[in-house]
Chain A
Amino acid sequence: MKIAPTRFDKGENRMTARALKPWLFLLPALTIYLIVIFVPSLYTFYLSFFKWNGVAADKVFVGLDNYADLILHDSVFARALKNNLLWTAGSLILMIGIGLMLALLLNKRIKGRIVFRGIFYFPYVLSGVIVATSWAWMYNPTQGFVNKLLETIGLESWTRAWLADPETALYAVFIAALWQGVGQPMVLFLAGLQTIPHDPYEAAVLDGAKPYQSFWYITFPLLRETLVIVVATTMIASMKVYDIIYAMTGGGPAESTQVLSSWMYYQTFKFANIGTGSAISFFLVLITMVVIIPYVYYTTKRSHL
């Protein structure tokens, strides 16, 4: 009996089926992502070209005016952008640096490892509001822990109103954010360190390698994937940072701690400038994209696989 050839017998169609496969695996994530994030963002992007208060029947098309106004006429926007860049630099160096250091320290088989890991992860678990109020109270100029501590160890000249001085406010908030945030990179690095096989280390030790050489030539390259994750997350989070700053200073004093997200919040929710708020959001995305996308592509190429 002659059996009619099925679709999958033909070589061409076998390739189509194979080409289709990734899309099937991607389908759930893609669908949900499009619905929840992508399409709403497109709508907001669209709104950034209008002047609108969110409710009125007519929106006024203004082209790139919202963007131009922000860059040319909005001093708070400029300050916010600068603050975000500072915050990002600080996070990339300190948040990642300390997180990595903690992960390396806690990767060894030392006593109390679980307790230590828990302690460093604990602040990350607290809600932003509690972290913000607690640190704000610690920074209280007359009754706060920070100043009292400085006085006790004889550094009274260093005491100041940390959150009230535009020069120090952002950094003071950053330290609180550092305390809260290193738990995440630490956890990510710990997981990453676990996927590194032992063999290279054994071989290296047999070859007489010192610990720092092991780290630099074995650990670091193999942590590359984890590093991509941590750098991408840290940078994106730094550009989007909002909760802790808004709760600790409200963007003040004198708008000196405004960041893009908080200024966007003011524009959208307090001033009903929907177009401007949307434009700020997209600035944020654009700046982040311009750095992260090339970074990811670059590190993808230099894969060890």
Chain B
Amino acid sequence: MEIRQPSWPVQALRYGVLIVLAVIFLVPIVFIAFTALKSRSDLLTSPFYALPEKFQWGNFAKAWNQGKMGMYMKNTALISVIKVPLGILVEALAAFALTRLNFKWSNAMFAFFLIGMMIPMQATLVPLNIFLNKTHLVSTYPGIILIYIGFGIPFGILILRGFFRTIPKEIDEAALIDGCGDIGKFFRVILPLSMPAIATLVILDFMATWNEFLLAQIFITKDSMRTITTGLLSFRGEHSTDYTLMNAGVLLSIIPILVVYLLFQKYFVSGLTGSVKG
């Protein structure tokens, strides 16, 4: 962050650009909100950008009930709350090994993990399905969490490795002098300094888990365990789709994600301020 306060015209320009962009970004969101508040006949007889003829506030309750959103949200929350911290821990340990333990194969191993990010999920469905069935993990939380963690590993390692590499080696030496072993260094030095990265990962990972639908559809067959994406998809039928309830449902479903975002984006604070001065 700059110390010197920029001049007034520069500030105005900055605000101007931001406001213009913000308006552009908001436009479709406003339309989505309109759709959520329309009746079905209104949606089909008026343009997408038109105000609702009559505000159907009841759509939210309808979407909630029809889409069984309460139950599905609970399930998804359970999965996310376990998957995200566990995944980050696993990824952080690996990234730590790749960046701080004088590991000869660091680059090769990193490349090995990175390749996993390139595989389209659809290509792994059948082998994974066979695996889950053989280990009796179909439609179980451990099963789906394991799969989710697996798919999150490449991205998590990519991010955490990147951020760990920006932490100067002097800090490691300082920790060593303080008598920290590797575990201590990991938990008491590196992790706290990586709060911006970890916060970012929490936000992105939570959201990815929350919105994931391909694996959730195929690997969870018990309705009582299904995730929120099932609820949202349930508005789409063979011959017609209820877009009003779908939009209302989507707006309801993202509230937890936004909450997580707001909670964690305050951690976007530098952990290195003044700590590098020798």
Contact = CB atoms under 8 A, between A and B. Distances in A.
A192 B150 CA distance: 25
Interface residues on A, range: 35 or more
Contacts of A127: 211, 213, 229, 232, 250, 253
A201 B1 CA distance: 8
Interface in B170-207: 182, 196-197, 199-200, 203-204, 207
Contact of B196 (A29, A138, A194): A194
Chain B interface, DSSP helix/strand/loop, else mixed? helix
Contacts of B49: 138, 145, 148
B162 A226 contact: yes
A43 B127 contact: yes
Interface residues on B, range: 35 or more
A3 interface: no
B3 A130 contact: no
Contact of B25 (A120, A187, A190, A269): A120
A107 B247 CA distance: 32
Given A145-B31, A211-B6, A214-B2, A232 B196 contact: no
A-B interface, 3 closest residue pairs, ranked by CB to CB distance from nearest: A36-B150, A40-B127, A25-B97
Interface of A: 18, 21-23, 25-26, 28-30, 32-33, 35-41, 43-44, 54, 102, 105-110, 114, 116-131, 133-135, 137-138, 140, 143-145, 148, 179, 184, 187-188, 190-192, 194-199, 201-202, 205, 211, 214, 222, 225-226, 228-229, 232-233, 236, 239-240, 242, 261, 264-265, 268-269, 277-278, 281, 284-285, 288-289, 292-293, 296-297, 300, 303, 305
26 contacts: A22-B102, A28-B94, A32-B150, A37-B151, A37-B153, A39-B127, A105-B17, A105-B18, A109-B1, A125-B261, A127-B213, A127-B253, A138-B49, A140-B48, A145-B47, A194-B271, A195-B166, A195-B197, A197-B272, A198-B274, A205-B2, A268-B122, A269-B122, A281-B120, A285-B119, A305-B169
